[in-house]
Amino acid sequence: MVAVLSSSLPERVGRLSGCDVTAGAPLAPLTSVRVGGPAEALVRPRSPEALVALLRLVREEGVPLTVLGGGANTLVGDGGIPGVTVKLPGDLFPELADVGAEEGRLTLGAGSAIVRLCNVMRAHGLVGAEFLAGIPGTLGGAVTMNAGTKNGECFRVVEAVEVATADGLGWLSRADIPHGYRHTELPRGGVVTRVRFLLRKGDLEASKKVMDEDLAYRKRSQPLSQPNFGSVFANPPGDFAGRLIESVNLKGHIIGRAQVSLLHANWIVNLGGATAHDVSSLLTLMQERVKQERGVVLQPEVKRVGVFLP
């Protein structure tokens, strides 16, 4: 049962014009691992102005705020999420393209799927973001965690990010946003609304070949057919989280209905019917075992949100 702060919260939020509000909305279907309880109030703003108004209400009333992107790196507790959970629609903003002879700028909404960037990039004869092609989730989530692979990270192609706060909307240049490996420092209480990417003209066939080869590799080496997060831990300097987890004999380990993938030890899969408690317990075990036996503290890429029940 979700922990409820106030039975009137969904009604109060619902009075804001331009916001669709669902009380007690199931969140498991909105996450890639398919576990977790409901949201006290799931809110989908229909305009940037409605989002700003929502953030103002949240600040004035001291209501907890959670932003749910594509749910690819989010573990929702079995007790659900108290307060307001925001999910931006993928079509909240129009897509913009400014393409010249040698480079192009593409502006997409934060609620758009990451793969959408790759499709729009190709449609305008641009290259440079191939490494993002197989990453699940939304562009807002990619910016928030500086998502990437061994071939590159999100901020390599980001030029600017628009952020909504209780005080309004504003653009921040790449240079004004501290970022690093799987980490971005955004304004407190802010929500990414749009992202502008700077790409270049290039060989589209070579670009497609790189993306196809990357996707083929992922299908061979990652459990894409099962509910999962993607990588659950960041790679420590000079090593790989998957190698460390496998070295302490946890590959294939099961707790409840959650399993360390047999294909890739840095992935957790839902075997069907897993709970957030199962997944969280497995994450903790992986972290503790690697620390005890290898002396390495693995840093989670997965974000725990909401109420976790014993």
Beta bridge partners of 183: 180
Q: What is the mean pLDDT of residues 72-88?
A: 95
pLDDT at 1 over 80: no
pLDDT at 199 over 70: yes
From the candidates 40, 130, 162, 301, which is the catalytic residue? 301
Max CA separation in the chain (angstroms): 59
pLDDT at 286 over 50: yes
pLDDT at 4 over 60: no
pLDDT at 5 over 80: no
Q: So what's the pLDDT on residue 12?
A: 78
Model confidence band, residue 7 (pLDDT cutoffs 50, 70, 90): low
Average pLDDT, the chain: 93
From the candidates 182, 194, 196, 289, which is the catalytic residue? 182
Q: So what's the pLDDT on residue 134?
A: 83
Is pTM beyond 0.85 here? yes
pLDDT 10s digits, 86-96: 999 988 999 99
Q: So what's the pLDDT on residue 3?
A: 43
Q: So what's the pLDDT on residue 11?
A: 79
In whole angstroms, give the CA distance from residue 82 to residue 64: 7
Comparing C-alpha atoms, which of 141, 193, 145, 152 is closest to residue 172?
A: 193
Q: So what's the pLDDT on residue 118?
A: 94
Contact indicator for 282, 255 with CB cutoff of 8 Å: yes
Is residue 182 part of the annotated active site? The answer reads: yes
3 state SS for 24-59: EEECHHHCCCCCCCEEEEEEEECCHHHHHHHHHHHH
Is residue 116 part of the annotated active site? The answer reads: no
From the candidates 112, 231, 261, 280, which is the catalytic residue? 231
- Would strands 191-201 and 126-127 be described as parallel, antiparallel, or unpaired? antiparallel
